[in-house]
């Protein structure tokens, strides 16, 4: 009997061109999807940041209720500190009795801060007050700078804020090049004077979160905020076209 030998068919494999086509398709899909995933992740961080600022806003409201309506002054005291400590640049410290959580003072999108840096330090918080030097008493700003504890200017009253739904209390901040290298924030930012926009940072999708004097938090794009970055404070009763006002003048 003759043996019938069956020749096995060679298995078909991908050709080099087919593999290159598949790799190209995967690369194209990745280039499309990765930015979408990154944007979704940043949107989640932005929402978490807004939650932090909302809680800071509640803490501010409670603080003012316990301090005759006044906002945090430049010179003050806090537990464990000497008298007349410049607590203005330690956002979380004067509000710690209301927050009970140091992480609320840090935006989730900010670089990690140096592990050796104390939460009571000058640059721990990545949120800061809107501030100027020595405001006119008939105007209004969330914060102002005094040069010594003996200065007689008293903190502004939160309830006296003109148009609180458009008046800024806090924004997102950075401290120069130390932000990227060491995660340093800054507890105030300035949009007027000789160094405009000092300390401000657009951290989320070319925009930033802001806490308003009425307690609500809103994200604004850099383009939307630009008209409000003026060399001096906005006169009370004007600026109706602005989505936010950082300081008011009489």
pLDDT of residue 2: 54
Local structure of 178: helix, strand or coil:
helix
CA 143 from chain centre, in angstroms, equals 16
Structural domain contains residue 45 = yes
Structural domain contains residue 1 = no
pLDDT of residue 170: 92
pLDDT of residue 133: 74
Distance, CA of 204 to CA of 126 (rounded, Å): 13
pLDDT of residue 214: 94
Structural domain contains residue 6 = no
Structural domain contains residue 44 = yes
Structural domain contains residue 5 = no
Structural domain contains residue 48 = yes
How many folded domains does the chain comprise?
1
Distance, CA of 18 to CA of 87 (rounded, Å): 65
pLDDT of residue 213: 95
Structural domain contains residue 7 = no
The 10 Å Cβ neighbour count of residue 98 is 17
Q: Which of 119, 126, 95 is nearest to 189 (CA)?
A: 126
Distance, CA of 124 to CA of 102 (rounded, Å): 9
Residues of the chain with pLDDT under 50: 78-82, 88
| Domain coverage including residue 29 | 16-249
Q: Specify the pTM.
A: 0.80
Structural domain contains residue 161 = yes
pLDDT of residue 180: 87
pLDDT of residue 90: 59
């Amino acid at each position: 009997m003759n043996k019938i030998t069956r020749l096995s068919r060679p298995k078909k494999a991908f050709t080099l061109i087919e593999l290159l086509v598949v790799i190209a398709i995967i690369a194209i899909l990745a280039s499309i999807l990765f930015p979408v995933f990154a944007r979704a992740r940043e949107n989640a961080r932005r929402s978490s940041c807004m939650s932090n600022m909302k809680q800071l806003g509640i803490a501010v409201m409670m603080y003012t209720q316990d301090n005759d309506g006044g906002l945090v002054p430049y010179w003050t005291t806090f537990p464990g500190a000497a008298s007349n400590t410049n607590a203005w640049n330690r956002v979380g410290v004067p509000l710690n009795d209301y927050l009970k959580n140091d992480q609320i003072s840090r935006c989730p999108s900010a670089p990690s801060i140096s592990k050796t840096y104390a939460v009571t330090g000058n640059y721990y918080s990545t949120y800061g007050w809107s501030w100027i030097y020595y405001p006119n008493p008939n105007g209004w700003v969330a914060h102002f700078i005094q040069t010594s504890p003996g200065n007689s200017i008293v903190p502004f009253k939160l309830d006296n804020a003109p148009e609180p739904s458009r008046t800024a209390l806090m924004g997102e901040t950075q401290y120069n090049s130390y932000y990227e290298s060491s995660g340093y924030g800054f507890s105030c930012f300035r949009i007027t004077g000789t160094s405009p926009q000092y300390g401000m940072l657009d951290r989320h999708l070319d925009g930033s979160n802001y806490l308003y004097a009425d307690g609500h938090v809103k994200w604004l794009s850099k383009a939307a905020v630009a008209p409000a970055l003026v060399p001096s404070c906005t006169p009370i009763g004007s600026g109706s076209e602005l989505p936010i006002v950082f300081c008011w003048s009489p």
